[in-house]
Structure 1
Amino acid sequence: MVNQVENLLPKGLFEVLQKERFLTISTVDYETGGPNITSVSWVFAPDPKHVLFAIDSRSRTVKNIENNPLVVLNLLAIESAYAISGNASIKIEKLNEVPLKLTLVEVNINEVRDVMFYGSKISVDPKFEKTYDKEAAAKLDRQVMEAIRKA
């Protein structure tokens, strides 16, 4: 299968990004100029052309984006692997509605590419669980996702 390339999120990916989801973010390291990767779960697509994510304000990712806005979000979903490339910017320096110091980043999508290797598919979506107090985690997740949706 030829890798499909779009300039916005296809319907299925847009639907996947309507709730918390594990994905990785690749940025250009502000010190080394090399790649830097981190994982997040507080993500939301307000429309097919943008993805928002919340990340610790002290994160290297924030500094990287301030220095170079080019990012790639890597998402495993709908039986495939996707690279969502775009320009990131700080939308809100500190989300006031949450108890942690989180920065809201907006990615303006330039390209969505199916990057799964030929003749294969993802058979099980990645799963994760919070390893601290389950009730506290659920409350924090609700607060963060609500703040992202309101932004």
Structure 2
Amino acid sequence: MPNLVENVLIDPLITALQKELLVTISTVDHETGGPNVSAVSWLYAMDARTILLAVNASSRIVDNILHHHNLVVNVMANESVYAIYTQAKVKQKRMENVPLNLSLLQLNIQEVRDVMFYGAKISSTPAFEKTYDLEAAKKLDQQVMDSLRKFT
């Protein structure tokens, strides 16, 4: 059975991407032209065609997007693994209402592929824990997610 290919997010992915979730993103490295992979959790699906992503303003991710707009989000949700191919742009160089120097990226969805290998499903999604001050982490996460949600 061939894997699913869509040009928008399916409903279970929208739901998964409207809460803090561990995903990996891949960009094209602006110096080497090779892949650059990062783990992130501050993203929010605005709708079936758009994802917002908050990242450190001085990160390599931002530099890469300024040179090459392709960005892939790899997410485990809905018992499968999806590669979400996007065209990314810096929407805000410095996000408002958050204490860190974060940039806001807008990811315009081009294609969504179910890339799980045949005959398998994800039985539990990856979990993560913050390793610094839990109260500070919770407050920061809330500020960032609230800031992302204000665009909907």
Partner of 1:94: 94
Alignment pair present for 1:9 and 2:9: yes
Alignment pair present for 1:31 and 2:46: no
Partner of 1:114: 114
- State the identity %: 54
Q: Distance in 2 between matches of 1:73 and 1:136?
A: 27
Task: Give 5+ residue unaligned stretches, structure 1.
Answer: none
State TM-score, norm by structure 2: 0.97
Q: Distance in 1 between matches of 2:118 and 2:45?
A: 28
Secondary structure at the counterpart of residue 95 of structure 1: coil
Secondary structure at the counterpart of residue 62 of structure 2: helix
Secondary structure at the counterpart of residue 87 of structure 2: strand
**Hey, which bits of structure 1, 4+ residues long, moved more than 6 A?**
none
Alignment pair present for 1:71 and 2:43: no
Counterpart amino acid of residue 140 in structure 1 = L
**Pairwise mapping of residues 36-75 of structure 1 onto structure 2 (< 5 A)?**
36-75=36-75
Aligned residues: 151
RMSD: 0.7
Give, in angstroms, the shift of residue 96 of structure 1: 1.9
